[in-house]
């Protein structure tokens, strides 16, 4: 069921879990070392409704998480072939309104008892071609 805040912000289901909508794409581009071109940055809303979490995944760019509502706990599972068992946790909330997920690091969010809304700024800009879900 689509959460009320997802309706209000016109958010769609995300492949990793949760709800999102891209809100900005930089008009400037950068050429990556492999020759692909990406915007210099992109920005999304990302909502986790109470009890929701995201699957282990990683992207090829740095992500800065920015808190708007509630708290998101992000587990970082290293940059190996699969997420590590020993994780580092960052909390993005009113007390710590920014959190960094470095490029290529496995990440997932864990459930909370309240809705949480963040923005994710990705640089170089996000593209699903650079997104990897962990094997089950």
pLDDT of 136 higher than 80: no
d(CA 98, CA 110): 17
Q: What pLDDT sits at residue 33? A: 93
pLDDT category of residue 1 using cuts at 50, 70 and 90: confident
Query: 21 near 12, Cβ under 8 Å?
Result: yes
The per-residue pLDDT of the chain, averaged, comes to 96
Q: What pLDDT sits at residue 108? A: 98
**Domains along the chain?**
4-129 (2.60.120.10)
Q: What is the pLDDT of residues 17-68, one digit of tens each?
A: 999 999 999 999 999 999 999 999 999 999 999 999 999 999 999 999 999 9
pTM of the complete model? 0.94
Query: 23 near 45, Cβ under 8 Å?
Result: yes
DSSP assignment of 64-120 equals EEEEEES-EEEEE--SSSS--SS-EEEEESSSS-EEEE-TT--EEEE--SS-EEEEE
Helix (H, G, I), strand (E, B) or coil at 129: helix
pLDDT category of residue 88 using cuts at 50, 70 and 90: very high
């Amino acid at each position: 069921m689509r959460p009320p805040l997802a309706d209000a912000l016109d958010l769609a289901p995300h492949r990793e879990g949760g709800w999102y909508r891209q809100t900005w794409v930089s008009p400037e581009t950068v050429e990556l070392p492999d020759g692909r071109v990406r915007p210099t940055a992109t920005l999304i809303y990302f909502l986790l409704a109470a009890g929701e979490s995201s699957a282990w995944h990683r992207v090829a760019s740095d992500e800065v998480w920015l808190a708007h509502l509630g708290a998101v706990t992000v587990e970082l599972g290293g940059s190996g072939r699969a997420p590590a068992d020993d994780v580092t946790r960052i909390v993005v909330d009113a007390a710590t309104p920014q959190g960094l997920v470095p490029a290529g690091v496995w990440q997932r969010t864990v459930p909370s008892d309240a809705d949480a809304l963040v923005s994710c700024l990705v640089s170089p800009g996000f593209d699903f071609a650079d997104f990897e879900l962990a094997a089950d």
